[in-house]
Structure 1
């Protein structure tokens, strides 16, 4: 054997003359091939002015001094080209392409194409370790598609393990989302990396979204959720209304900074609740409230629960609802409430209390002057006096029951002052029903005592023709009955 197997460097033979020539040839081969750096691999013709030590991989169809040397390493040394036939496993750094080539026994190929899979640790501008086996320090990371879509997959071994993304500040956790400890989807946050709060959970079974740490639905910051979810009461609740309040308040404190300004705002707030069988009281501070009140239906108002509109129990005249051109308090179909301890008045048009398909109870109410009447019930609505009350102002009628409406004031005491006048009648009933037996009236009134028609019934419990207040006889027509 006269040369080495891989680099083909000549051996110095025994008794060889000019041994230095052979030795120098070996050194030149080492200089050309060790730490092999290639300038280009696409030239088939030698460069015109190569520099000492330049090395190339000869391209196919070589010409000139490179004829027949395609695929070999050509090195410019001592003013001439030397050629080295590569063998499988040689590595070369390709300067113009910034990549490492490897010889696979037949061709030069990109070393990465030969595979580094699997590799234990990979660090990109960062140091990987046994926990973070892929570490990247970069302003951004791009995972691009290759022709269509793209998925990033995080797999875990068992349901009790984690498959999540963790967001950190100073290497301390602040937010995490994913499959954290089970197969539901979780979103968690932390202020210190130690204590964690679960903000959102999506059930893997039915997709229900739970907000374990959400704000109470009464919180004004929860307004978006409140559009879709009713606040379910777990106890009785009181809202406050004051003339110095504001409708932007929460209504739950009896102060200028806590109370509502209008009764209607309080009622609209109740309409957004689920009363769940509990009682809600709207407590009104002293003052005059000049906006008509409409009571909408309330959800969950069942059994003995009630919606109560309450004024000043000791001085009901201190809380006045004075409406112009509308009912002072009207209850819509499906609505139900108790009104007590206040005074009602209307001008232009409107009744003091009106149940048009709804249900209204009242006690300790003072009726001032009203344009259309004091108490009205129609369209199968119901008005019931559940306590004694007073009349201080005139109206065309005191009671008006029509179109299946019912008014029940039986067994109550009514105190009349200032001798109010009732131009139509104290009790007017047309196709409705007024039950008023066993009542006591103090004071006096002027006008017809009653007017009943269209199969309406006024039941006085056999009180007689002069039972009701007034100074003129009553009248019956078209099937109306006064009994």
Structure 2
């Protein structure tokens, strides 16, 4: 064997000259793959100006300097790209998506909690959206709730003060206070409550902010975070 099984760290050979080159190469790979951060997942074309130690999970149809890297990790070191084969169970921080992802042997899955032998997954994730509050009694965040996911709750932070109403409720059409009620419209106000009865929204759905003590005047922004549990079926 010329390298380790899992991380592919090169071994120093007996009577090898310039041993430091091999050792430093191993350190570089160890530094990149341990506590790994992925610059992105699914791309098939290398970035124009990668940084030393940058790692990408390559998608299908890889081309250019990534040709033949389909499904592999592309590690940039010493001015070139190196292909690394991931092992099922490896975890990384996906900087592009802002989520922890786990390699299940085929693809990188965000928020993976449990996985069956056939590839069926149970995952938790959080999706967020920056919403500019419109004018009127209700401001709608269109299609914010994904189809088929179990919504555990929606949290928020008021980024900039919302004008025209001293407070607001957070919910859905027909249930205006489902996620929060009486949230202050002042910048910095927050709400974060886990629903006692999580709910699935077939076909997805909108989130609505309902003004209290007046109507919104079209100013202010809120960050909304939708906290979800999702199921994926076994692979074909």
TM-score, normalization by structure 2: 0.49
- Choose 1 or 2 for highest CA Rg: 1
Give the number of the structure whose residues are more often strand, by fraction: 2
